[in-house]
């Protein structure tokens, strides 16, 4: 005589077990990686050192899943880090200080108002300038533009000086590639630095039908997304051994490519910015 339970459907079995059908299929399709305690300790220690002791639990979890196929919850990762004494280095903010504003200085309203969660790509860009210290007391500057939806660096430029060109170079080419219909809904947010209040910069945005927004005076949190990118970049790069400006340019180019195409982000559900753009 056949066992009646063998004739039940998956749905009926789930009802009897008091679990959801979707939960069953999620369990059925899960990744199973068998690791002993020593191996788990070693792999987390390895990732931590590879990230120059600056990787938190979320970063480690994403790398475990993407690169090693290991599924591990955050509580366990934090427990192992604590057991091994792996204290994450917390970066200090190194905010770009505004230059003295010229006579044409004119700020605009803070239309963004820290609403960093946006629905579409090419809807809101966050931009700023940062200092890059390299070699023996050498300084360069980087301007970058970040898409708040995909977290992608859509444009950047490097310079030995802080002239207006650092924010203007390449912007025309960037905006022309965006259809006018999309540009009319695009907003670019910055601080009140002299580059962004200049007539030339404001005119460029206006000519491309792009809305301009600015942080409140002295409030760095209003432009946190681009500040976050600069902070992570400086955490992950060691520019002290970079002796020449040309070498610095090469390193920054490689990093931006890595950040956009290879570096998963917790806020993107473990995807890279490039993967996120392709999905939109």
What would the pLDDT profile of 163-210 be if each residue is shown by its tens digit? 999 999 999 999 999 999 999 999 999 999 999 999 999 999 999 999
Q: Report the distance separating Cα 242 and Cα 152, nearest Å.
A: 25
Give the residue-averaged pLDDT of 127-138: 92
pLDDT tens digits for range 133-171:
998 889 999 999 999 999 999 999 999 999 999 999 999
CATH architecture of the domain with range 124-279: 2-Layer Sandwich (3.30)
Model pLDDT, residue 138: 92
Q: Report the distance separating Cα 134 and Cα 137, nearest Å.
A: 7
pTM reported for the whole predicted model: 0.69
Model pLDDT, residue 114: 92
Model pLDDT, residue 93: 52
Model pLDDT, residue 67: 74
Q: Report the distance separating Cα 91 and Cα 231, nearest Å.
A: 7
Give the residue-averaged pLDDT of 24-44: 62
Give residue 6's pLDDT band: very low, low, confident or very high (50, 70, 90).
very low
What's the mean pLDDT when you consider all of the chain?
Answer: 83
With a cut of 90, say whether residue 46 has pLDDT above it. Answer: no
More confident residue, 100 or 40: 40
Location of each CATH 3.30.420.10 domain in the chain: 124-279
Give residue 15's pLDDT band: very low, low, confident or very high (50, 70, 90).
low
Q: Report the distance separating Cα 177 and Cα 209, nearest Å.
A: 13
More confident residue, 40 or 28: 40
State how far the alpha carbon of 60 is from the alpha carbons of 11, 139, 244, 261, 263, in Å. Answer: 36, 32, 33, 18, 12
More confident residue, 100 or 174: 174
Q: Largest Cα–Cα distance in the chain?
A: 94
């Amino acid at each position: 005589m056949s066992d009646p339970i063998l004739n039940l459907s998956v749905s009926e079995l789930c009802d009897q077990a008091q679990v959801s059908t979707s939960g069953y299929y999620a369990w059925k399709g899960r990744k199973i990686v068998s690791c002993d305690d020593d191996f788990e300790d070693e792999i987390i220690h390895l990732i931590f050192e590879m990230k120059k002791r600056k990787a938190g639990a979320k970063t480690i979890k994403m790398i475990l899943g993407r690169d090693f196929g290991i599924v591990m919850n955050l509580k366990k990762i934090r427990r192992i880090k604590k057991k091994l004494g792996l204290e994450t280095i917390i970066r200090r903010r190194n905010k770009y200080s505004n230059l003295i504003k010229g006579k044409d200085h004119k700020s605009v309203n803070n239309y963004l108002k820290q609403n960093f969660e946006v629905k579409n790509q090419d809807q809101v860009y966050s931009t700023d300038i940062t200092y890059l210290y390299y070699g023996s007391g050498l300084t360069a500057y980087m301007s970058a533009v970040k898409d708040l939806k995909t977290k992608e660096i859509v444009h950047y430029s490097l310079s030995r000086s802080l002239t207006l060109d650092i924010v203007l170079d390449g912007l025309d080419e960037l905006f022309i590639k965006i259809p006018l219909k999309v540009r009319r809904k695009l907003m670019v947010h910055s601080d009140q630095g002299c580059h962004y209040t200049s007539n030339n910069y404001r005119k460029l945005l206006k000519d491309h039908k792009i809305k301009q927004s600015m942080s409140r005076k002295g409030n760095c949190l209003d432009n946190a997304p681009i500040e976050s990118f600069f902070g992570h970049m400086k955490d992950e790069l060691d520019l002290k051994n970079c002796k020449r400006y040309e070498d610095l340019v090469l390193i920054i180019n490689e990093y931006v490519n890595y950040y956009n195409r290879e570096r998963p982000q917790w806020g993107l559900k473990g995807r890279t910015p490039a993967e996120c753009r392709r999905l939109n």
